[in-house]
Amino acid sequence: MADMFRLDGKVAVVIGGAGGIGEIMAKGLAAQGARVAVASRNLKKLEDIAREIQAETKSETVAFQADVTDKDSVSRLGEQVLKKFGTVDILVNSQGINTKNPAIGFPVKDWDQLFDVNVKGTMLACSEFGKVMVEKKKGKVINVSSVRGVRATFWGGNEGYCATKGAVDMMTRSLASEWAPYNINVNAIAPLLIRTPLAAPTLNDPAKLEKYVANVPFKRIGEPQDLMGLCVFLASSASDFITGQIIYLDGGLTAVG
């Protein structure tokens, strides 16, 4: 029974694996026995985290440099991971950025960058690693969306970010449908505010934070640790009949909002 959450013999790729959320998910997968590739642009940071995860979990963890906005870079990542590990069983898309701007005069450059990283980057990674999963007729894809895919904020400036997460939600459902014949599960985790660098503008604004927490039934924001169990579950055989779902890890925020 307990074995249904083990990931021994599996290979996981965690993009954004040196980010606040990605790191904890990579650690969770490695702790369950998966060999893990962590990837993003900052190789030095990734290497430090890979070393730390490997020391703590004893699972092989390797860092790869990749920019998800660049198709060639994602293709190279695919080649390098296959060369190193021979296959891919689990893909976690935990890359992401958030740039807030008032709707009037929203800079097009910021809009494009949000969509490049959060939407195009997720699709390029799914497409690259999905190739391997389709071929072997097995795989688990976990996209990191957000409560902002279905709920706006009380304060403004979030149109770009919210729109990208709505897109990630629909990409998740659409891929789940397209790849169901290949036994690939595609799901998304949609957290509320999690204590990471990306959330700094809200975390560092006490009035905003207080207003935020007041609307959460559990009366707190999330910690990266809150992501670990759900990620392991979605990567494991325990979730084999779940696909196309957006799972809200939000202390009840979307239940009442």
Name the residues that contact ligand NAP, by CB under 6 A: 15-16, 18-22, 40-42, 45, 66-69, 94-98, 117, 121, 144, 146, 191, 193-194, 196-199
Of 48 and 240, the one with the shorter C-beta distance to ligand NAP is 48
Q: What are phi and psi of 14, to 5 degrees?
A: -115, 105
Reply yes or no on whether 161 is catalytic: yes
Q: Between the CA of residue 128 and those of 71, 80, 134, 206, 229, what are the distances in Å? A: 9, 12, 11, 41, 26
Residue whose tokens read 């985290």: 49
Helix (H) or strand (E) holding 247: strand 246-249
SS3 216: coil
Contact 142, 122 (CB under 8 A): no
- d(CA 214, CA 188) in angstroms, rounded, equals 25
Which one is catalytic: 161, 182, 212, 248? 161
Min dist CB 150 to ligand NAP, Å, is 12
Min dist CB 166 to ligand NAP, Å, is 12
Of 130 and 149, the one with the shorter C-beta distance to ligand NAP is 149
Of 135 and 234, the one with the shorter C-beta distance to ligand NAP is 234
Min dist CB 164 to ligand NAP, Å, is 8
DSSP annotation of 4:
G
Contact 151, 254 (CB under 8 A): yes
Q: Which of 227, 251, 236 is nearest to 22 (CA)?
A: 227
Identity of the amino acid at 104: I
Of 66 and 91, the one with the shorter C-beta distance to ligand NAP is 66
Min dist CB 165 to ligand NAP, Å, is 7
Min dist CB 146 to ligand NAP, Å, is 4
Of 51 and 136, the one with the shorter C-beta distance to ligand NAP is 51
- d(CA 193, CA 224) in angstroms, rounded, equals 10
Q: Which residues are catalytic?
A: 161
